[in-house]
Structure formats: structure tokens, C-alpha cells
Amino acid sequence: MRFSLVLALIGALAAASATPAVQAASVIHRGNGAEPDTLDPGKSQGHWEANIIGDMLMGLTTEGLDGKPIPGAAESWTVSEDGLIWTFHLRAGATWSDGVPVTADDFVLAWKRLLDPTFGAQYASILYVVKNAEAVNSGAAPVDDLGVRAIDAATLEVSLAHPAPYLDQLVAHQAAFPVPKHAIEAFGDQWVKAGNYVANGPYVLAEWRPQDYVKLVKNPAFYDSANVQIDEVYFYPTQDTEAALKRFRAGELDMQDTFPGQQLDWLKENMPESVQVFPFLAVQYIVFNTQRPPFEDKRVREALSLAADTEIITDKIYRFGEPVAESFVPPVTANYPATASIPFKGQDRAARLERAKALLAEAGYGSDNPLSFTFNYITDADNRRAAIALADMWKQTGCNVEIVASESKIHYVNVLQPGDYDVAMAAWSADYDDAENFLFMLESNNKGFNYGRWFNPQYDALMAQARNEKDLAARGKIMAEAEQTLLDDFAIMPTRFPYTRYLVSPRVKGFQPNAREIFRTRWMSIDPSS
């Protein structure tokens, strides 16, 4: 009996070893900043939403490993000689994750939906480059007047209001993503829920547990699915960067978007292989609410700008070796002369403080009538230190400052957009590599991103002139003049050009720094041996 049992066990083990093992799913865990408010591309606003949506949906173009545009839902496109008509040819045989074909009508619907004034999309202004888009979005023209049409199921024609050499980059943005017409017709606003969501990109929504995680799974219907190596993606809200760092060190996260600057030296010494710090196209700045007295007064805006020591903020608090911002547009932006600068560049700190006090006195503020205001900032360990330091600098001119913190999405959605603040922290990372993408924010017709409601007819006229200039050098020079106009009027106060700061586990392969700070899971893989 015993001998027979041993033989049976040996036979079973032999049979098991001959049976191919089921390969474990490849999974990545990504710390992603804030909790998403939506996964609808037309309603999304922050990069924490764009990171997730961009893994599921794909525009006419998409981002390569280096962040630059490559063919996406469109295999190819042509541009008319005058630069005003772009014709996109969709990828043959492409389908949504449920097998329904992706058509040009899905793009027409998405773009009309975004520009429809009743939809209320914050990012509507990014498509003002399309013919009649601004008129449609303002309600002055019907939605059907928008310059986009389906020539046939596989061909999309886009008519522009002016030449836009950057359009191949812009259509990779989530605001220009297609939406599934059939799913919206079936489920309405509920199409973005797990089980209803269909995708044309590498992944599709499997589960969303608010304040816990968003889970995506590989989309087998994606045209390049064979080359997508990660099967499951978990995105976690990690607004508390110190807690996220602990999770990363514990191995609970494979990637983490941002970490405290105060931990940089320790990380470089103890986990140098995980630290990813590099420049990208972004600016951090302070915005003044010009709809609230006294911030409509240039003297007050100038005084607060003069009193802020952005070198100390950048070098001593954020500590990443980032450049102090002396302009609004990053100097490395393509086809841009970068000649604009803050009016007090190079001035002595003491002289600046005296000038600030004098300006506040001219505006009616002093020891017997101090300027009192709130300063709103985004909850983050480094931002809190920066907010405390700025408040102290402003107090040196006799101001009373109350600092108020909010999570990222609350800060942008409930504070900046409705104008419910006095002075506030803000930041912008480029949607495409062109000065237009920074400067359009301050135009008077930009309801989504002109947070301070600043208005300057000269600035608007210069931006309109630049859009109709075909020569890139001449166009850049006009935009630089526009930038100088906003800096001279102290519309905003630039502080720094932030660096991307990621923690990436050595087991993650395919993470490549790029100027757009876009890291699609599609290009990554997990090395279990690392």
C-alpha cells in the first residue's frame, strides 16, 4: 500500500510538472495624486484624471514613449496648403472594447459635446482653434456650425479658425478624445461607470472604488494589444505625499507621482535608483482675483509680487534645483524667443520691499489700515511650507495673510474656477509644446483657465495677431510681446518652473522622462526579478 501510494504521488507530481503553469497577471500600482472627479474626457480637468483616461481612450494622435505625437486612432492625416483643413484617416478595423467600430462620428460627437455651452466643459477653450468653436461655446452659433465633420465613417475633416502647426499635439489631449456614441445613447451620463465604459485604447475600466483605487484591465480589442505587457493597472489617490512615500518604500506602490522635497537627500542616498527628477513644460504661479478689490489695482498686485522672494521658495523649500520663474512661458518652449521677463528682474531684495511698501501706501494701506487677504494653496507638504513662507514675506510689508488649504481638485474646481479666493497658488503643465498653450489661459474669453478674470485688450489683440501669423519666428515674437504685456501688468506672479518628481521602482521598465510628463502604462512592463 505504501509503495503504491508513493508511485501514485510521483505520477501526480510528474503530471503536474508536465502541465503548463498559468502565467500570473502582470500588475502595476500607480500613486496618482488626487481622487478623480470624473473619467469622462469632456469633463476631466486635472492630470490625475488625464493619467487614467489616457490609458483607456485615444485621440487621433497619441503620445509615444518620449511624449511626442504618433498616430493614434488616425493612421494618417493631410493638411491643406493654407493650414486650415486637416483630414484624418482613422485606423482600419479599430473598434471599441465591446467590438463596435470606432467611427468619425464618435469624434464629431465628442467635439460638439465639449463645445456645447450647456455641457460646461472647462477645457472647451482648448478647441477654439476649430472654426466657429468660440462662437458655438459662447452660444452665439449653433453646435452644428462647429468646423468638424465626418466625410465618411473612416474620415474626419477638421476646419480651423487659423493655422495651428501644433494641432497634431493638441488632438492627443483628452479634450479631443472620442466618446462612444452608442454607449452614451444607451447609458447617458452613466456610460463612464465600470461595466458600461467602453474604450478604444490599451485599457478599459474594471472597477472604481472612490478614495481607494481605480482598476483598469487590458483591452484585447486594442489594435496594438499584443505589445501591451501589463495586464492590470491600479491608480491610487495619493494627495498625502508623505504617506505615499511610506507606501512606496513598503512596496505597495510601483510608481508615485511627486514626493516631499525635504526627503530628496534621503531618497538620493538610500533609493537613488527610484528617484526620477527632471524638467518638463510647466510653470507654478500666484494668481490674483481681479474681480475682488483691491486686486483689480495693479499697485497691489505689483507690491505682493515684489515682496515675494521666489528664490528662497524654490531653493530652500522645494529643493529640486528647479529654475526660479522670471517669466510665465517656460524658456525651453518650442519656436519661442523667451525674451519676456518680470519687470523687477535683478533688483535688490531690500529695494523691492521698500517699493512694495510704497505701492501699498499709495493704494491706501499701511499700519493703521493693513491689507488683509486669504491665500489659498494646494494641500501638500512642500506647498504648505511655501504658503507659510509667502505669508511671512507679505507680512513684512504690513499685510495680514490667512492661508487656506484644499485638495487639488477642490482647489481648482471650487476655489479657482468660480473665483472664490483673494490670492491663490496655481500651476500649469503644457498640453502641447507651444507658447500658445500657456498664453491662451490669460485671454479674456478663456472662461476655464483665466482664474483671475484679468482683462487687457492689448493682450487679446496681440494673441489674435499671433494666431494669424504663419511665420513661426514672427509668431513667436508677437506672443513674447503679449507675455511681456501680462507680466508688466502683474496679471500673475510666476514662482518656479517645476520639475517632474516621480518615484519609480526598478522593477518598472519602460518609464522614460519627457517634457510632457506623460507616462502611458502601454509602454511599460514589470520585471518580477527586480
pLDDT of residue 25: 81
pLDDT of residue 80: 97
Local structure of 187: helix, strand or coil: helix
DSSP 504: E
Grid coordinates standing for 18?
Answer: 508536465
Residue in 432, 385, 470, 400 with CA at minimum distance from that of residue 84: 470
What is the rounded distance in angstroms from the CA atom of residue 177 to the CA atom of residue 171? 7
Are 187 and 201 in contact by the 8 Å Cβ rule? The answer is no
Tens-place pLDDT, residues 149-162? 999 999 999 999 99
pTM score, two decimals?
0.90
Tens-place pLDDT, residues 18-29? 444 445 789 999
Residue in 144, 174, 150 with CA at minimum distance from that of residue 63: 174
What is the rounded distance in angstroms from the CA atom of residue 256 to the CA atom of residue 260? 11
Local structure of 60: helix, strand or coil: coil
Are 387 and 375 in contact by the 8 Å Cβ rule? The answer is yes
Query: Rg of the chain's alpha carbons, rounded to an integer?
Result: 26
- Which residue has 463645445 as its cell numbers? 115
**pLDDT values of the chain reduced to their tens digit, one per residue, 530 residues:** 333 333 333 343 333 444 444 457 899 999 999 999 999 999 998 899 999 999 999 999 999 999 999 999 999 999 999 999 999 999 999 999 999 999 999 999 999 999 999 999 999 999 999 999 999 999 999 999 999 999 999 999 999 999 999 999 999 999 999 999 999 999 999 999 999 999 999 999 999 999 999 999 999 999 999 999 999 999 999 999 999 999 999 999 999 999 999 999 999 999 999 999 999 999 999 999 999 999 999 999 999 999 999 999 999 999 999 999 999 999 999 999 999 999 999 999 999 999 999 999 999 999 999 999 999 999 988 999 999 999 999 999 999 999 999 998 899 999 999 999 999 999 999 999 999 999 999 999 998 999 999 999 999 999 999 999 989 999 999 999 999 999 999 999 999 999 999 999 999 999 999 999 999 999 999 998 87
Distances in Å between the Cα of 284 and the Cα atoms of 31, 173, 441 are: 22, 21, 13
Grid coordinates standing for 282?
Answer: 510647466
Cα torsion angle, 345, 400, 314, 432, sign: negative
Residue type, 408: S
Q: What is the DSSP string of 267-317?
A: HHHH-GGGEEEEE-SEEEEEEE-TTSTTTTSHHHHHHHHHH--HHHIIIII
pLDDT of residue 10: 34
